Amino acid sequence: MSVEQDAPANAGATEKRMVRVWDGPTRLFHWSLVVLIALAYVTRKGNPDLVWHMRIGYAILILITFRILWGFVGSSTARFRAFAYAPWTALRYGMDFLLRRPRHFLGHNPLGGTVVFMMLGLVAAQGITGLFSYDDHTELHGGPLASKIAEETVALTTRWHIWLFDILLIVIALHILASFAYAIWKREDLVRPMVTGRKRYAHFEDQVEARIASPRLALLCLILAAAIVLGGITLAGGKIG
């Protein structure tokens, strides 16, 4: 009799349990990137010599490089293999979402994982083209590697640098709208776990709880990322301003 009475209580306690999902480095990366992208836009418009715009660009490239490294050695939900799904899997999940079929993932779901790869690629391309671009208003200042390529190529990379940012803004807007859609359609809060690092337990399809990697490993990845970006620019003949 006591066993039958305890089972529902234990089940209820399990459903209310909060489990680890995002580690500190992943959350810091996410919110730091949000702030830096906003600052990159502000400094582009209000700083005629683009010094701070370029410095923020370096920081963004370092963050992206860190995230790539962390995607191989970081916590279980941060690793690329945890959310690298085939395109048809992402489409199937999208249909399930529209039809309100209950599916739960601890980390990125198949559709969200696809968006993450897309955003990482766009931001990386935005930062790299910035290294070879000039100020499209005055043409007096340029990226640290703009003088290393032909003038026609600089003009092309500058146009792409501008176009990519517009595309990035569209993807960011869709990402924000998707967060609202999840909150309204599925009653699932995607923002809070990226702040607290925890989410309510469910019958997740990918993993039960995140295995958190060492913060020291994250610091090592950040140092290595800075060395790769700044060292790479210097070796290519650019001057870090």
CATH number, domain at 131? 1.20.950.20
pTM: 0.88
Tens-digit pLDDT string for the chain (241 aa): 333 333 344 545 555 689 999 999 999 999 999 999 999 988 876 555 678 889 999 999 999 999 999 999 999 999 999 999 999 999 999 999 888 888 899 999 999 999 999 999 999 999 999 999 987 544 556 789 988 888 889 999 999 998 999 999 899 998 898 888 888 888 888 899 999 999 999 889 999 999 999 999 999 999 999 999 999 999 999 888 7
Query: Distance between CA atoms of 200 and 20, rounded to whole angstroms?
Result: 9
| DSSP string covering 33-50 | HHHHHHHHHHHHHH-TT-
Q: Decide if 3 is inside a domain.
A: no
Q: Exposed (0-12), middle (13-18) or buried (19+): which is 126, by Cβ within 10 Å? A: buried
Residue 1 located in a structural domain: no
Residue 90 resides in a domain = yes
Domain assignment present for residue 147? The answer is: yes
Mapped onto helix, strand or coil, the DSSP state of residue 134 is: strand
**63 within domain boundaries:** yes
Does 13 reside within a domain?
no
To 10 degrees, the CA torsion angle through 35, 40, 46, 51?
Answer: 120
Which helix or strand (DSSP H or E) is residue 20 part of?
strand 18-20
Classify residue 233: in a domain, yes or no: no
DSSP 179: H
Provide the domain count of the chain. Answer: 1
Partners of 18 in beta bridges: 200
41/166 Cα distance (integer angstroms): 11
Is 182 inside a domain boundary?
yes
User: In the 8-state DSSP scheme, what is residue 79?
Assistant: S
* Pairwise CA distance, residues 208 & 77, whole Å: 10
For residue 19, give the DSSP letter.
Answer: E
Q: Which tokens belong to 116?
A: 């993450």
Q: Show the domain range for 150.
A: 24-223
